[in-house]
Structure 1
């Protein structure tokens, strides 16, 4: 068995025991695989975003992670006012309290509502006005239609040479029926949405180099680089 096949076996075996729930970032559960966390650190350093837009907040670990990376960028000469904006249809009260109490909250803002609601989309576009470098992360509802709508709503905010990262594309690579309690499955998920959307958006390409380096990732074909 080669390393690529072994990685696929591990990823499949890791779903049922909820392996991604083992990790936190600066005190908040992040619900990501370590490989993707490292990949995002590399992208945030390379892109030096003024704004990171994230759909899906959950416990807030990803917001705290992004804020901490922006803090490090600023300490190394980057934008001292860089920020992260999170959108979620339901920000649980205890999660909001914990996020707002975090020392890095000064770099964070949150919007509660559906990420595909036109009013919410308008607020996010307003927040992105005038930003020279924007990075987008889509990690909320993983159905094909929802992710496709998010791509249409937010990918265009991605600045040239930056990324729109679509998480949980790995659902397409797993056996059918792995998520019996969810409305997504093989054949209708973030990866199918990405592939459909890319057909009419040549200004983005899949960064296969990232996939080949990570091997274990929830976002294969999901690291989309804007090239024009």
Structure 2
């Protein structure tokens, strides 16, 4: 007898695999991504009360990756209002809760070693205060400074030394050179089976006039950095199924899994 759970999973994989050939659907998704970005749609959402500048689809993607890979440390470059840090902390807390249930134990949220480390060149005081006052703050540490500065890189490497499963999310300055420097610094910290998620690779596929006041553009962005980095780093591979199923995502070709 066919296992209905496996049957559903197989049907879903087949459906997702067909999306790249559905040119009308993918074109609609791309057009909607551009139209929504022009209208600042991505700024509309909160996660547990803090603004999170992400599409809902990418939030769901993060949930799936965290559940599947079960990291004990998530390193994020770019903090802004802190919503992404809160999202990651809450996902790690759910892992803690599920572990406690399976072990028949009572969850002590402050006893867990799972942590989120956020980096930003400028953590504004009102955002820092809101993050530190949040119930998820016990899982979050922050470092202020350029993510590519040698002293910050050294602090992160020291912090990460005792963690066994590490995920990295790059979402700060989106120029080619900056992302290349971040990949060189932090991708090696990603452990086997875990992900380095490079956000805003979609810039390469958008019209140049979408970013008139930004230093990044088609030809100079996270996707060009990912392509250059992967040429010399076969230990990473692009998880193509994730952007295929999301359709609307700021990270096409940006979900990098370490083998």
Aligned Cα RMSD in Å?
Answer: 1.0
**1:43-80 CA distance string (max 9 Å, x none):** 00111111000000000000000000000000000792
Deviation at 1:163, TM superposition (A): 0.2
1:25 has 2:47 as partner: yes
- Give the match for residue 38 of structure 1: 60
Deviation at 1:131, TM superposition (A): 1.0
Deviation at 1:2, TM superposition (A): 2.1
Runs of 4+ residues over 6 Å off in structure 1? none
* CA distance, structure 1, for counterparts of residue 27 and residue 218 of structure 2: 19
- Return 126-135 or 149-158, whichever deviates more: 126-135
1:188 is paired with a residue whose SS is: coil
- Give the match for residue 14 of structure 2: none
- Return 112-121 or 125-134, whichever deviates more: 125-134
**1:157-216 CA distance string (max 9 Å, x none):** 000000000000000000112111010001000000000000000000000010111010
- Give the match for residue 207 of structure 1: 239
1:15 has 2:37 as partner: yes
Deviation at 1:152, TM superposition (A): 0.2
2:208 is paired with a residue whose SS is: coil
1:99 has 2:121 as partner: no
* CA distance, structure 2, for counterparts of residue 187 and residue 19 of structure 1: 24
* CA distance, structure 2, for counterparts of residue 161 and residue 120 of structure 1: 25
- Return 122-131 or 107-116, whichever deviates more: 122-131
Determine which of 130, 152, 164 is the counterpart of 1:120: 152
Number of positions where the alignment pairs a residue of Structure 1 with one of Structure 2: 227
Deviation at 1:14, TM superposition (A): 1.1
* CA distance, structure 1, for counterparts of residue 112 and residue 159 of structure 2: 17
1:168 has 2:190 as partner: no
More helix as a share of residues? 2
* CA distance, structure 1, for counterparts of residue 245 and residue 208 of structure 2: 26
* CA distance, structure 1, for counterparts of residue 45 and residue 170 of structure 2: 19
* CA distance, structure 2, for counterparts of residue 125 and residue 170 of structure 1: 29
* CA distance, structure 2, for counterparts of residue 17 and residue 211 of structure 1: 22
* CA distance, structure 1, for counterparts of residue 181 and residue 35 of structure 2: 30
